[in-house]
């Protein structure tokens, strides 16, 4: 294999766009929401499910899922859980602060191919973050899609994200919305139990339902088992994986599982592509 090196157009892969934080909301003790404006209000041009590399000089970079729909113009949104040094510093930033953004990267949900289908969303914990991008996309293009069914689970009521969206989804006649928490509180009136307890009761048009699942690694095994019991075909399942990443552009090697780089072929995978990759789930 020989490649004509001098003929190849090079890409500046590691230069972030300096962007401004224009709004911040705190959701929980650990999660904050940020609205970000790229230079000149340029559109990010992402697909639901894609991520950006957030760059904080001095602290480094981290991959963060985009949580707003591509239909939103002029800015985009991130929801960040504080889990390490970089996210801690991110949490301390104020409106008007600038951060670096590279991306969007990876493959998101193939919303074109979902057209005309019912969409079943299964989100556990911060898995709802990239799914909210898909949900809002479907809501904004409502006539292109069939039923929109949202299953959302969190550990406790305190850990639920997007309080405004949750109210909206709950009220909407057009969205079938089910929520559960692993452990309730005295004030909690909704379902308790893990997210898989919401699946058996669903009445689905099986061949016509696309399922999008995002959650912590431990959740996938159990959700996939429940989906199998429900006879949802593998080809109708999409899920998103998380791994360590340094570059986001398929070079640094950290996110590799088998022959696949998650930052290139994922983070959203069509389940049949993933099921034979050892180490994936």
Partner 1 sequence: MTTEAKNKPKVAFFDFTSCEGCQLNKLNLENDLLDILEHVDIVEFREAMDDKAEEYDIAFIEGSISTPSCVERIHDIRRRAKMLIALGACATQGGINAMKNLQPIEEVREAVYGDEKYRFPTLPAMPVSAIVKVDYKIDGCPMSMPEFLKVLKSLLAGQEPIKPDSAVCVECKLKENECVFDKGMVCLGPITRGGCDAICPSFGQFCTGCRGLISNPNKNAMLEILTEHGISLDEAKKRILLFNSYDHSQSMPK
Partner 2 sequence: MKKYQLNKKQLPSFIDHLKKQGTVFAPHKKGDASYSFAKVVESDSVILEYNRTLNSIKKYFLPPRELLLSYSRKDNSYKKGTIGKEKKIFLGVHSYDMKAVLKLDYNFTEGNPEENYLLRRRNSSFIGVSFIPDEFHFSQSVGMPVHDTDGFDIYLEKNDDGYTVKIITEKGEKLIKEFNGLCDALDISSNHIQFQNKLKYNYNRLPEVFEQSWNAEVWEEVAKRCVGCGTCNLVCPTCYCFDVEDNMDLSLQNGTRDRSWDGCMLNDFAAVAGGENFRKSLADRQRHRIFRKFRYITYITGEPWCVGCGRCTAYCTAGISIVDIVNQLCDEYEQKYLNRPVEQSGLNLEGL
Q: Restricting to residues 249-268, name those near partner 2 by CB under 8 A.
A: 249-254, 256-259, 264
Give the shortest CB-41-to-partner 2 separation in angstroms: 18
Residue 10 or 173: the one with the smaller Cβ distance to partner 2 is 10
Contact 41/74 with Cβ under 8 angstroms?
yes
Please tell me whether residue 272 binds partner 2 under the rule CB under 8 A. Answer: no
- Which of 22, 24, 89, 204 binds partner 1 (CB under 8 A)? It is 89
Place of tokens 């639901």: 48
Binding mask 214-253 for partner 2 (x = CB under 8 A): ---x------------------------xxx-xx-xxxxx
Q: What is the DSSP string of 215-272?
A: --HHHHHHHHHHHHHTT--GGGEEEE-----SSSSS-S-TTEETTEEHHHH-BEEEHH
Please give the Cα distance from 66 to 77 (Å, whole number). 6
Give ∠ CA 23-102-26 in degrees, rounded to 5.
25
Contact 135/161 with Cβ under 8 angstroms?
no
Binding span for partner 2 by CB under 8 A among 58-66, 140-148, 157-165, 229-237: 58-66
Coil, helix or strand at residue 85: helix
Contact 116/145 with Cβ under 8 angstroms?
yes
Give the shortest CB-8-to-partner 2 separation in angstroms: 5
Binding mask 92-131 for partner 1 (x = CB under 8 A): x---------------------------------------
Please give the Cα distance from 15 to 50 (Å, whole number). 19
Q: Provide the residue count of the chain.
A: 281
Please tell me whether residue 9 binds partner 2 under the rule CB under 8 A. Answer: yes
Please tell me whether residue 57 binds partner 2 under the rule CB under 8 A. Answer: yes
Q: Residue 264 binds which one of partner 2, partner 1, none, with CB within 5 to 8 A depending on kind?
A: partner 2
Q: Residue 219 binds which one of partner 1, partner 2, none, with CB within 5 to 8 A depending on kind?
A: none
> Bridge-partner residues for 149, per DSSP?
120, 176
Please give the Cα distance from 277 to 242 (Å, whole number). 15
- Which of 23, 85, 206, 218 binds partner 1 (CB under 8 A)? It is 85
Q: Which residues are at the interface with partner 2 (CB under 8 A)?
A: 1-3, 5-6, 8-16, 18, 57-62, 83-84, 86-87, 98-100, 217, 242-244, 246-247, 249-254, 256-259, 264, 278-279
Q: Which residues are at the interface with partner 1 (CB under 8 A)?
A: 58-59, 84-85, 88-89, 92
């Amino acid at each position: 294999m020989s490649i004509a090196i001098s003929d190849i157009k090079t890409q500046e892969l590691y230069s972030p766009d300096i962007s401004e934080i224009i709004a911040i909301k705190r959701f929980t003790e650990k999660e904050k929401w940020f609205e970000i404006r790229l230079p000149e209000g340029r559109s990010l041009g992402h697909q639901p499910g894609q991520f950006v590399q957030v760059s904080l000089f001095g602290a480094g970079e981290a991959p963060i899922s985009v949580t707003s729909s591509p239909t939103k113009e002029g800015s985009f949104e991130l929801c960040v859980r504080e889990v390490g040094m970089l996210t801690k510093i991110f949490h301390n930033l104020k409106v008007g602060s600038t951060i670096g953004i590279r991306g969007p990267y990876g493959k998101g949900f193939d919303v074109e191919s979902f057209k005309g289908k019912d969409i079943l969303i299964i989100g556990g914990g911060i898995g709802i973050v990239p799914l909210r991008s898909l949900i809002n996309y479907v809501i904004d293009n409502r006539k292109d899609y069939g039923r929109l069914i949202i299953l959302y689970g969190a550990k406790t009521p305190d850990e639920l994200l997007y309080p405004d969206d949750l109210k909206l989804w709950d009220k909407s006649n057009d969205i079938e919305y089910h929520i559960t928490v692993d452990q309730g509180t005295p004030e909690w009136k909704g379902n308790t139990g893990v997210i898989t307890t919401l699946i058996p009761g669903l009445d689905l048009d099986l061949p016509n339902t696309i399922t999008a699942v995002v959650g912590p690694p431990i959740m996938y095994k159990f959700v996939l088992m429940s989906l199998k019991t429900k006879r949802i075909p593998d080809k109708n399942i999409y899920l998103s994986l998380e791994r360590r990443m340094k570059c986001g552009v398929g070079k640094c090697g950290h996110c590799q599982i088998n022959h696949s780089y998650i930052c290139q072929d994922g983070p959203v995978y069509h389940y049949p592509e993933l099921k034979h990759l050892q180490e994936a789930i």
